[in-house]
A and B are shown apart, each in its own frame.
Chain A
Amino acid sequence: DQQVKQNSPSLSVQEGRISILNCDYTNSMFDYFLWYKKYPAEGPTFLISISSIKDKNEDGRFTVFLNKSAKHLSLHIVPSQPGDSAVYFCAASPPGANNLFFGTGTRLTVIP
């Protein structure tokens, strides 16, 4: 039972444009959400997180939006750069818990 879902397995974007990656979750108890970036044969690299008490968190080119009523979060990357090409995983955690539930990933390709 996949509690965190990324319904787009891949996304291609022109360099300089905005990349929007989406994530849906089913467990309303999740209160902490994260985005990770992963290159082949490497571990995931933490990008940005958001607590359920917020609806937006921004860090440089990366912004995460949380819509709790829709159980949906998104990651915006602007402007997109070729070095952003990777697989992006969203993850969620229940309160006080030590485990992350990962989505299935979206492969982003930024075209120069």
Chain B
Amino acid sequence: DTEVTQTPKHLVMGMTNKKSLKCEQHMGHRAMYWYKQKAKKPPELMFVYSYEKLSINESVPSRFSPECPNSSLLNLHLHALQPEDSALYLCASSLRGNTEAFFGQGTRLTVV
């Protein structure tokens, strides 16, 4: 199993809503990531979890709240988002640092 599974694939939410993005991998990877990608731009790192502990937060606004319940799961809780937060949100995992990261299909988020 070399998959990173993200749900949902598409999400439309209002600016007052609370929603969560989910990511799952069963490759035994101990590093998991959230990236954000806007159209025609490269993926930008948001958060890194290493061994279920938050190791990198790239100055992401607090309306984005990551959670790593166990080594296979990664969530991104969303609250009070802005329309400019609309983007493709990508989850990835890797065995450790300096190894290839495997990406999920992404969640296409639209904030209205």
Interface membership of chain B positions 68-112, coded 1 if the CB is closer than 8 angstroms to chain A and 0 otherwise = 000000000000000000001011101011101111111010000
CB within 8 Å of A: which B1-47 residues: 4, 6, 31, 33, 40-45
Q: How far is the CB of A106 from chain B (nearest CB, A)?
A: 11
Q: Is the interface of B mostly helix, strand, loop or mixed?
A: strand
Q: At the interface, yes or no: B55 with Cβ under 8 Å from chain A?
A: yes
Residue of B at shortest CB range from A43? B103
Are A104 and B42 in contact (CB-based, < 8 A)? yes
Interface membership of chain A positions 96-107, coded 1 if the CB is closer than 8 angstroms to chain B and 0 otherwise = 111110111100
Q: At the interface, yes or no: A32 with Cβ under 8 Å from chain B?
A: yes
Residue of B at shortest CB range from A2? B42
CB contacts (< 8 Å) of B91 on chain A: these are: 43
Are A99 and B41 in contact (CB-based, < 8 A)? no
Q: Which of A12-20, A44-52, A65-73 sits within the interface?
A: A44-52
CB contacts (< 8 Å) of A93 on chain B: these are: 97-98
CB contacts (< 8 Å) of A100 on chain B: these are: 43, 45, 101
Q: How far is the CB of B89 from chain A (nearest CB, A)?
A: 10
CB contacts (< 8 Å) of B105 on chain A: these are: 41-43
Are B45 and A99 in contact (CB-based, < 8 A)? yes
Contact of B98 (CB < 8 Å), options: A42, A45, A96, A103: A96
How far does the alpha carbon of A41 sit from the alpha carbon of B103 in the complex, in Å?
Answer: 12
Which positions in A face B, CB cutoff 8 Å?
Answer: 4, 31-32, 34, 36, 41-46, 49, 89, 93, 95-100, 102-105
Which positions in B face A, CB cutoff 8 Å?
Answer: 4, 6, 31, 33, 40-45, 48, 50, 55-56, 88, 90-92, 94, 96-98, 100-106, 108
Q: What are the nearest 8 A-B pairs in CB distance?
A: A43-B103, A102-B42, A98-B97, A98-B48, A46-B100, A32-B98, A44-B103, A98-B31
4 additional contacts (CB under 8 A) given A43-B106, A89-B42, A102-B43: A43-B90, A43-B105, A96-B98, A98-B50
